[in-house]
Amino acid sequence: MRRLLRSLVAMAGAVALTSGCANGLAPRAAHPAPAVSPPATSPRAASPLAASPLVSNQLQDDYQQVIRNVLPSVVQIESSQSLGSGVVYDVQGHVVTNAHVIGQDRSFKVSAATGGQTVTARLVSSYPEQDLAVIKLDTVPQGLRAATFGDSSKVDMGQIVLAMGSPLGLSGSVTQGIVSATGRTVSEGGEGGGTGATIANMVQTSAAINPGNSGGALVNLNSEVIGIPTLAAVDPALGGGSAPGIGFAIPASMVRTVAGQIIQHGRVTDSGRAALNITGRTVLGDTYEPGGVAIVHVTTGGAAADAGLRTGDVITRVGGAPITTITSLAEALAAHRPGDKVTVVFTRGAKEEKAEVTLGEM
């Protein structure tokens, strides 16, 4: 079994990032809390300490119910280069996963996280820019069911979540944690099978994300998929080992947008991602440190061309964000939508100039 790990650069902090991941529902409410009567032999109210086992047992029951609800929607995906996870998207047998899980392959072996026969699947389309892909099962095994995707706008810090997938090839594994943060922008590396994507609005979680979890399900206690686990942090101080409790998932809203377009049109027709419509490269400054992005090509009729930018200009700021590398430019653009107006600062020769740019679409 091969494991795919790749480095990433986060928008802030000294921790590097890697794919979580390649080598990860029928909606039901969590159980209501049971009514507890005080013991007949004591007139005193139950103390918090006395009630804690009941609370603990209730949470355990909730976990187990969510696992029973969701695990039949999670699959293991085997490609020629890696092993990852996926989530059943609809009753027709479409499965959403990460683009880095499927790589360049067009056919796959898929098995349910709950066990059973292995079936074949084919690629519908991949969208590496958001590290998402959709495959379709040739036959839908009995017992598999479509997941329910939650509302990303309701995801908040502190919510309990479960991550389901096939870490290290251990199909049907579950880890638990909380939502540590929302709205993270993370850039993947392009080595080791990585897509090089810059992904905005990711959900950060403390649930363990390991190789093989990519493409699986990050689930709330209402049995809703709120994200697709995609990246795990690596601590350089640990020799590239995993940084415990720092993982990232693509939000459900983006998953639905991309998967829905792929299923309907066979490709992404409206990315919703802002662009300058240029090709660029990182350049070094006088101190041999990254100092901006030089424009190599300007798309005719694109955002940069319409604003007067041209080949050879070096972009140093977009809006309030300093630009030193291609990655920082992608992160700055990820914070905007097509049609937004931003001020782009650039150098042309030895002169610094500014241009008001109406952003285009990737």
Within the chain, what is the greatest distance between any pair of CA atoms? Answer: 88
Tell me whether residue 100 is one of the annotated catalytic residues. yes
Other C-beta atoms closer than 10 Å to the C-beta of 32 total 7
Q: In whole angstroms, how large is the CA radius of gyration of the chain?
A: 23
Distance in angstroms (rounded) separating the CA atoms of residues 41 and 134: 61
Tell me whether residue 214 is one of the annotated catalytic residues. yes
Which of 73, 125, 126, 131 is catalytic? The answer is 131
Tell me whether residue 131 is one of the annotated catalytic residues. yes
Tokens read off for 174 = 């579950």
What angle (nearest 5°) sits at the alpha carbon of residue 198, between those of residues 186 and 90?
A: 95
Run of H or E residues at 332: helix 326-334
Residue among 281, 275, 284 at smallest CA distance from 330: 275
The separation between CA 92 and the C-alpha centre of its own chain, rounded to angstroms, equals 24
CA torsion 211→212→216→217, rounded to 10°? Answer: -50
Q: Is 57 exposed, middle or buried (0-12, 13-18, 19+ CB in 10 A)?
A: exposed
Which of 73, 180, 187, 214 is catalytic? The answer is 214
Q: What is the DSSP letter of 191?
A: G
Residues 6+ apart with CB under 8 A from 22: 3, 4, 79, 81, 82, 83, 84, 98, 100, 101, 103, 193, 211, 212, 214, 215
DSSP string, 238-286: GTSEEEEEEEEEEEHHHHHHHHHHHHHHSS-S----EE--EEEEEEE-T
Which of 100, 223, 313, 336 is catalytic? The answer is 100
Run of H or E residues at 13: none
Other C-beta atoms closer than 10 Å to the C-beta of 250 total 28
Output the CA–CA distances (angstroms, integers) from residue 254 to 56, 124, 128, 131, in the order listed.
34, 17, 13, 11
Other C-beta atoms closer than 10 Å to the C-beta of 299 total 15
246 close to 232: Cβ distance less than 8 angstroms? yes
Residues assigned a catalytic role: 100, 131, 214
